[in-house]
Chain A
């Protein structure tokens, strides 16, 4: 019993670290990409600097990356992990493919959230003499904030799922624990506890995300 607790505890810590780091990095990659996708889009949908060609190319790249099965992407990215963190297995190494897999997803979510900003408000901001940067930072992002928070919540939940999958190819964390102990060593109790912890994590993230988003809406 004590051993089970220690195993699950350390695996949960690994999962949380992986999810936290990859959420952060996927946001760093995906947020600018999502904003770029939106502002270079058609003017009627919030495109403040329409660039049809760039928008098209970006959109295609994002779609290709998103349609890649995660496991395959992870294997393809082993060399990149080795370059960046020196190894291709373990918790730290998994952060690289997780971040890259989630980034296009984040980009689309950010794009959708920002497209919802009332074009009239953007027009008003332009009429007042805002620069493009000011519109992005002081209008688009704050106005879209509740949707952005919902989108980030969804990203974290997705990453919890992905990180469990990464366990199948030596990723570490709860997924790894469930496969190595639960499946390969016939320990259904470990499997069960791992799955329950993952479910609880997802639920907690969802509840917190909803709360923050609802609170923002209430203050408007």
Chain B
């Protein structure tokens, strides 16, 4: 979809970022506050011009458009925001009509399109409602309808669910997923919530300090996080239970010698008795400290934190066997 490469500002809010965002997917951009997410989205949504670098939509360069073309191009992208940014002087239907009005669409066409859009976001019949009477979730639905009014190919979501409660967040994310599929949209989600990426995105880029530290399919990034920032995000996400009781036998003593391992299983592996098979084959024992299963873009991912106890070379063999059976093993130095 686009390929952008740029340094920006004396602050380097966004520093030499190159991303290739595939069309027709939901692409997540995650980062902590101050990581450069907002600047990045303002750049790729053409609200700001980069100091250097280039932005392409498909094959057309868009970062250096003259003013007139820039305005035209902006009408072909949709954008929703954390604070909804609806017009309080207009009711729901009039908000949705705004992008059509400014594009000079005839009045009767606007009316039909607005009805259609209200239905699309599940707000049929609420067109006359003043904005202040709507709930947060309804406001974001109006904002989504407004963003989609001009049939855009790209939808930017700037922290679109950050101001919503978890339940509403899920319903908005569900809506976005459906819309993406049905309308063949390319959705770019900027967020600081790993849950949002896990539940909706196919691809993700992790941003830190204005640079991309990791990028790839969500399932890969989740199962084999390569950067400290990603791991941090995942740690906050994975509600790993602490060991409730440590067995008071010889194992405790042994665990000082064994490394501390984090095993990540994906997909079908979740159901297989890999551990016991390995335990039989090699002279090792697993002391499981914590574990859990999560759904990441429709796939189950299991996480186990455990010690592997045994002679060092047996442990090494067991780890390679784990790798061979498709389990990702991270070893932490104690």
Interface of A with B (CB < 8 Å)? 118, 120-121, 123-131, 134, 138-139, 142-143, 145, 219-220
Q: Is the CB of B88 within 8 A of A130?
A: no
> In angstroms, how far is the closest chain A Cβ from the Cβ of B265?
42
Q: Is the CB of B74 within 8 A of A129?
A: yes
Residues of A within 8 A of B147 (CB): 128
> In angstroms, how far is the closest chain A Cβ from the Cβ of B250?
62
Docked complex Cα distance between A131 and B99 (Å)? 11
Q: Which of A130, A131, A134, A220 is within 8 Å of B89, CB to CB? A: A220
Q: Is the CB of A138 within 8 A of B47?
A: no
Residues of B within 8 A of A220 (CB): 88-89, 130-132
Q: Is the CB of B89 within 8 A of A142?
A: yes
Q: Is the CB of A120 within 8 A of B89?
A: no
Q: Is the CB of A128 within 8 A of B75?
A: yes
The interface stretch among B56-64, B78-86, B169-177, B238-246 is B78-86
1/0 per position for B73-115, CB-CB distance to A under 8 A?
1111101010101111110000000110111000000000000
**B19 lies within 8 A of chain A by Cβ:** no
User: Can you list 19 A-B pairs, Cβ within 8 angstroms, ordered by A?
Assistant: A118-B83, A120-B85, A121-B85, A123-B47, A124-B86, A124-B143, A128-B75, A128-B79, A128-B99, A128-B146, A128-B150, A129-B71, A129-B72, A131-B102, A139-B87, A142-B89, A143-B87, A145-B89, A220-B89
Residues of A within 8 A of B143 (CB): 124
Q: Is the CB of A127 within 8 A of B74?
A: yes
**B45 lies within 8 A of chain A by Cβ:** yes
Most A CB contacts (10 A, CB to CB) among B72, B85, B130, B147 go to B85
Q: Is the CB of B130 within 8 A of A127?
A: no
Given contacts A127-B74, A220-B88, 6 further A-B contacts (CB under 8 A): A120-B85, A125-B87, A128-B146, A129-B74, A138-B102, A219-B130
Most A CB contacts (10 A, CB to CB) among B46, B81, B102 go to B102
Q: Which of B90, B98, B131, B132 is within 8 Å of A128, CB to CB? A: B98
Q: Which residue of B lies closest to A126 (CB)?
A: B47
Q: Is the CB of B130 within 8 A of A118?
A: no
Q: Which residue of B lies closest to A139 (CB)?
A: B87
Q: Which of A126, A127, A138, A143 is within 8 Å of B101, CB to CB? A: A138
Q: Is the CB of B86 within 8 A of A121?
A: yes
Q: Is the CB of A127 within 8 A of B71?
A: no
Q: Which of A118, A127, A130 is within 8 Å of B77, CB to CB? A: A127
Q: Is the CB of B132 within 8 A of A134?
A: no
Docked complex Cα distance between A120 and B75 (Å)? 17
Q: Is the CB of B45 within 8 A of A131?
A: no
Docked complex Cα distance between A120 and B86 (Å)? 9
Docked complex Cα distance between A131 and B132 (Å)? 26
Residues of B within 8 A of A219 (CB): 130
> In angstroms, how far is the closest chain A Cβ from the Cβ of B135?
16
Which 4 A-B pairs give the minimum distances between C-beta atoms? A129-B75, A129-B74, A124-B85, A142-B89
Docked complex Cα distance between A11 and B57 (Å)? 68
Residues of B within 8 A of A129 (CB): 71-76, 99, 102-103
Residues of A within 8 A of B98 (CB): 125, 128, 138
